[in-house]
């Protein structure tokens, strides 16, 4: 049997999916509080990677909200975000 999708189509689908997910990430503490667990985790990953394009006050508010979340995985992600911020700035 032949391939159903070419590698190029699969790569485009993965990039499109990542773009859609990134566009849905909250960028404010209120948005973070209203987001689902998957969005909160992905937002914290973006904060850890220093890739979330929002102001430092909003980032601090989202981390603060994550630290008091009922979900242990989100609290762990928020703590990792604190550590990543304390480790220093990211230089390109």
Domain count, the chain: 1
Count the Cβ atoms, other than its own, within 10 Å of residue 30: 13
User: Does 4 map to a domain?
Assistant: no
Per-residue tens of pLDDT for the chain, all 92 residues = 556 666 776 676 666 666 655 557 999 999 999 999 999 999 999 999 888 888 999 999 999 999 999 999 999 999 999 998 887 666 66
Q: How many CB atoms lie within 10 A of CB 42?
A: 20
Output the CA–CA distances (angstroms, integers) from residue 81 to 50, 65, 73, 85, 86, in the order listed. 9, 12, 12, 6, 9
Instruction: Classify residue 15: in a domain, yes or no.
Output: no
The boundaries of the domain holding residue 72 are 27-86
Other C-beta atoms closer than 10 Å to the C-beta of 19 total: 10
């Amino acid at each position: 049997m032949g391939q159903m999708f070419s590698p190029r189509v699969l790569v485009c689908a993965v990039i499109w999916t990542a773009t859609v997910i990134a566009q849905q990430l909250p960028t404010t503490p209120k948005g973070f509080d209203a987001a689902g667990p998957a969005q909160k985790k992905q937002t914290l990953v973006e904060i850890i990677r220093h890739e979330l394009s929002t102001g430092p006050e909003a980032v601090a508010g989202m981390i603060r909200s994550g630290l008091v979340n009922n979900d242990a995985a989100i609290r762990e992600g928020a703590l990792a975000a604190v550590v990543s911020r304390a480790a220093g700035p990211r230089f390109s």
